Amino acid sequence: MSFPTLAVGETVIVRASFPPGHTRAPHYVRGRRGVVAGIAGQYPNPEELAYGRSGKPELPLYRVRFHQRDLWDDYRGSADDTVVVEVYANWLERSSEGRP
Protein backbone atom coordinates (compact mmCIF):
# COMPACT_ATOMS: atom_id res chain seq x y z
CA MET A 1 0.00 0.00 0.00
CA SER A 2 1.41 3.39 -0.91
CA PHE A 3 0.43 6.82 0.29
CA PRO A 4 0.94 10.23 -1.28
CA THR A 5 3.98 12.15 -0.14
CA LEU A 6 2.65 15.30 1.44
CA ALA A 7 4.46 18.62 1.69
CA VAL A 8 4.48 21.17 4.47
CA GLY A 9 1.70 23.67 3.74
CA GLU A 10 -0.47 21.17 1.87
CA THR A 11 -4.14 20.89 2.82
CA VAL A 12 -5.29 17.42 3.88
CA ILE A 13 -8.40 15.71 5.17
CA VAL A 14 -8.30 13.04 7.86
CA ARG A 15 -10.26 9.97 6.76
CA ALA A 16 -13.73 9.81 8.34
CA SER A 17 -13.45 6.17 9.28
CA PHE A 18 -14.30 4.50 12.58
CA PRO A 19 -12.97 0.93 12.40
CA PRO A 20 -13.00 -1.28 15.48
CA GLY A 21 -9.75 -2.00 17.27
CA HIS A 22 -6.60 -0.01 17.87
CA THR A 23 -6.34 3.20 15.85
CA ARG A 24 -4.04 6.21 16.09
CA ALA A 25 -6.22 8.95 14.58
CA PRO A 26 -8.12 10.88 17.27
CA HIS A 27 -11.88 10.88 16.73
CA TYR A 28 -12.09 14.67 16.92
CA VAL A 29 -9.98 15.15 13.76
CA ARG A 30 -11.61 12.48 11.59
CA GLY A 31 -13.31 13.99 8.57
CA ARG A 32 -11.69 17.36 9.29
CA ARG A 33 -9.50 19.50 7.08
CA GLY A 34 -6.06 20.65 8.22
CA VAL A 35 -2.69 21.78 6.91
CA VAL A 36 0.55 19.80 7.07
CA ALA A 37 2.71 21.72 9.55
CA GLY A 38 5.65 19.33 9.61
CA ILE A 39 6.96 15.86 8.95
CA ALA A 40 8.03 13.86 12.01
CA GLY A 41 9.66 10.98 10.10
CA GLN A 42 8.80 7.39 9.17
CA TYR A 43 7.86 4.82 11.77
CA PRO A 44 6.45 1.30 12.00
CA ASN A 45 2.65 1.33 11.72
CA PRO A 46 1.45 1.41 15.36
CA GLU A 47 -1.94 0.00 14.41
CA GLU A 48 -0.18 -3.15 13.17
CA LEU A 49 2.29 -3.26 16.07
CA ALA A 50 -0.65 -3.28 18.51
CA TYR A 51 -1.57 -6.73 17.17
CA GLY A 52 1.95 -8.15 17.33
CA ARG A 53 2.66 -7.69 13.63
CA SER A 54 5.84 -6.20 12.16
CA GLY A 55 4.49 -2.70 11.51
CA LYS A 56 5.93 -2.81 8.01
CA PRO A 57 5.94 -0.98 5.75
CA GLU A 58 6.80 2.06 7.80
CA LEU A 59 4.49 5.06 7.46
CA PRO A 60 5.24 8.77 7.33
CA LEU A 61 4.02 10.62 10.42
CA TYR A 62 2.78 14.15 9.75
CA ARG A 63 2.09 17.04 12.08
CA VAL A 64 -1.22 18.52 10.96
CA ARG A 65 -2.51 21.92 12.11
CA PHE A 66 -6.25 22.40 12.60
CA HIS A 67 -8.19 25.53 13.53
CA GLN A 68 -9.86 24.74 16.82
CA ARG A 69 -13.12 26.35 15.67
CA ASP A 70 -13.23 23.70 12.91
CA LEU A 71 -12.94 20.86 15.43
CA TRP A 72 -15.41 21.89 18.12
CA ASP A 73 -18.76 23.52 17.31
CA ASP A 74 -18.91 25.30 20.67
CA TYR A 75 -15.33 26.63 20.61
CA ARG A 76 -15.35 30.19 21.95
CA GLY A 77 -11.67 31.08 21.67
CA SER A 78 -9.92 33.18 19.08
CA ALA A 79 -10.49 32.31 15.42
CA ASP A 80 -6.69 32.09 15.14
CA ASP A 81 -6.34 29.31 17.76
CA THR A 82 -4.93 26.08 16.36
CA VAL A 83 -3.94 22.63 17.54
CA VAL A 84 -1.30 20.39 15.98
CA VAL A 85 -1.97 16.65 15.90
CA GLU A 86 0.40 13.93 14.70
CA VAL A 87 -1.39 11.78 12.12
CA TYR A 88 0.00 8.81 10.16
CA ALA A 89 -0.18 8.87 6.37
CA ASN A 90 -2.70 6.03 6.18
CA TRP A 91 -5.28 8.38 7.72
CA LEU A 92 -4.64 11.33 5.42
CA GLU A 93 -6.00 12.24 2.01
CA ARG A 94 -4.81 15.11 -0.13
CA SER A 95 -7.50 17.80 -0.23
CA SER A 96 -8.73 19.20 -3.52
CA GLU A 97 -7.97 22.63 -2.05
CA GLY A 98 -4.21 21.97 -2.35
CA ARG A 99 -2.22 24.59 -0.49
CA PRO A 100 -4.00 27.24 1.56
**pLDDT tens digits along 73-87:** 999 999 999 999 999
Helices within 50-89 (DSSP H only): 68-71
40-46 contacts, C-beta under 8 A, 24 or more apart: 40/86, 43/88, 45/88, 45/90, 46/22, 46/88
Q: What is the CATH code for 11-94? A: 2.30.30.50
Percent of the chain with pLDDT over 70: 94
pLDDT at position 22: 74
Domain boundaries, the chain: 11-94
Give the chain's end-to-end CA distance (angstroms, integer).
Answer: 28
pLDDT at position 87: 97
Task: Locate the DSSP E strands across 1-77.
Answer: 11-14, 33-43, 59-67
Tell me what the pLDDT averaged over the chain comes to.
91
pLDDT at position 56: 92
